[in-house]
Structure 1
Amino acid sequence: MMASIARSSLLRQVALVPKLPIATRLASQQSAIVNAARVATFHTTARRDLLPPLPQRVEGTVNDAAPVPETSPSHGSYHWTFDRLVAASLIPLTVAPFAAGSLNPTLDALLCATILIHSHTGFQNIIIDYVPKYRTPRARKLFVWGLNAATVVVGLALYEFETTDVGVTETIKRIWTA
């Protein structure tokens, strides 16, 4: 009696399986597997990460105060305000070429430049947030250079598309009416 109390519910379910008919055995085994998966999520086991942890280093001692970063207005409210202004300016720049009825190449180029700046600053914010400089300085530099290269390539491609082809707004207009 004491041994049955000490067994886990999964072991008791598996121990009862051979005494049951085949259909009931299959259902019982499936429910045992589901229950085992539910229970296993709450057990503490050895974690095996896909990637090894980044190198750890401790600077200072336990009694040192937390370092306060140097203030910079370009990384604070000015940066946020610029991002919001660019995002808000996309609304009229997207609607204006179609609402006016005439397609203006200057307005089209302004729309392309604003989309490019908006995309660049958005991806830059993602890199700043998710690739910390103090833990992975080489990866951060690689991502920043990759973003700058991609921005230049897309800028040149948009310039070529605007000067040698019909432009972005005309292309959107043609696709919309197709």
Structure 2
Amino acid sequence: MTFVVPFDGSELAAAALVRALEYGRALEEDVVAVSVVPERNRYAREKGWIADEEPFDPERIVATLRDHVRELAPEASFDAERIREFPPEDRLATYIERLVLEHDPSVVFLGSDNVGRVVTPLTSVGVHLAAEDAYDVFVVRHPSPPTVAGIDPHESFYEES
């Protein structure tokens, strides 16, 4: 079994990674963070990967995401794919899902405040990933963890939030 976390560096993706690490430690499971980086300035700016005046450098973005994963979850693996297009959210979700499935996940930890609501935005990548039935989905909607007996929170992460 592997716990896989789609990771874009956002607060909820970071919380999902930390949560996956906590459960992974308790259950002795591997954790993998995966990132898809479209090679487009606009998307990189929307994600906060680069500032408005900063040049687009996909290698640096991947390295920054990898470093962020190592900082939050040192024992987690990291895998990234660069894509040359900027697809609509549903096609972007297809790239992410393909990368997720390469790691044969038993559970995908998904940081999203949109997944599972009665009214779901069509532009949510998480909606498409959560629809897959090849794995279970653990949705992280809040940066702070729920209280779960037997799992010690990754306190340094939560103290910063």
Same fold, TM-score > 0.5, yes or no: no
Could you say which structure has the higher helix fraction? 1
* TM, length-normalised to structure 1: 0.21
Could you say which structure has the higher strand fraction? 2
Higher relative contact order (CA 8 A, sep 6+): 2
Larger radius of gyration: 1
